[in-house]
Amino acid sequence: MRIAALFDIHGNVPALEAVLEDVRQAHVDRVVVGGDVLPGPMPHEALTRLINLEVPVEYIYGNCEVAVLDEIAGTVPVKGPERFRPTLQWTAQEIGSAYGQLIASWPKTLTLMVDGLGEVLFCHATPRNEDECFTRLTPEDRLIPVFEGLTASVVVCGHTHMQFDRMVGRIRVVNAGSVGMPFGEPGADWLLIGSDIEMRHTAYDLADAARRIRETAYPWPDGDFAARYVLEPPSEAEMLDVFTRASI
């Protein structure tokens, strides 16, 4: 079985379109969407493209889906700065109740058997929590309690928008990176999973993507989303420093 793992799309439809073209050429049997499809500039369009794929698609939710569902339910999100509330409210309005119900049906984790790898567990951040942060630099002794007791031989995660491939005890842990908001080289990151795991990076027309994003009404609180996360994304070194301070 060949699987494309797409994490942290964040409503960046131009990036998603480019990745899906590479996914088609890779002749995958299944797509796993690893949470945080939204918020982002084109959340409704991103969901629509995923739902209409010609191959089976499995979903898990991320921390941002939880926050948007809180908005739909009329509850105040417990986590996250208040300045992001307009973004979540706008996203809830954009996706509507039908897509809200769909997202509410997504599980927290997914397990698949893959020839050559064995049992692969997909989670957004960690198997126990969709919010926890860790990176390739997080000391292993901090992570052992998070992953102990799992039967999976491989865990695929996202959340921090930076790809890595490391061991935690006996478990191989691979971060898929981000399709829509990668930290480091501009483009779109994802995984091709078969008998082994291949980190993929898809280039696309960044200037055209920025134009399309700027034509939306996306209320990003930190200025120009396209400039910050598409044209010139933060460096890996910068974000490793941020997430190291927030790590488990």
Domain range list for the chain: 3-246
For 143-171, write each residue's pLDDT tens digit: 999 999 999 999 999 999 999 999 999 99
Confidence of residue 244 (pLDDT cuts 50, 70, 90): confident
- Residue 78 pLDDT exceeds 80: no
- Residue 118 pLDDT exceeds 70: yes
Confidence of residue 228 (pLDDT cuts 50, 70, 90): very high
The total number of residues shown for the chain amounts to 248
Across the range 183-191, mean pLDDT stands at: 98
Q: Which residues pair with 119 in a beta bridge?
A: 113
With a threshold of 0.75, does the pTM exceed it? Answer: yes
Q: Alpha-carbon distance 108 to 158, whole Å? A: 13
- State whether CATH 3.40.50.300 applies to domain 3-246: no
Q: Which residues contact 117 (CB under 8 A, 6 or more apart)?
A: 153, 154, 193, 195, 196, 197
Classify residue 33 by burial, with Cβ atoms within 10 Å: 0-12, 13-18, 19+: buried
Q: Helices 43-51 and 85-104 sit at what angle, rounded to 10 degrees?
A: 20
The secondary structure element, H or E, covering residue 144 is helix 140-147
At 77 the pLDDT is 60
Look at strands 118-123 and 3-6 and give their pairing: unpaired
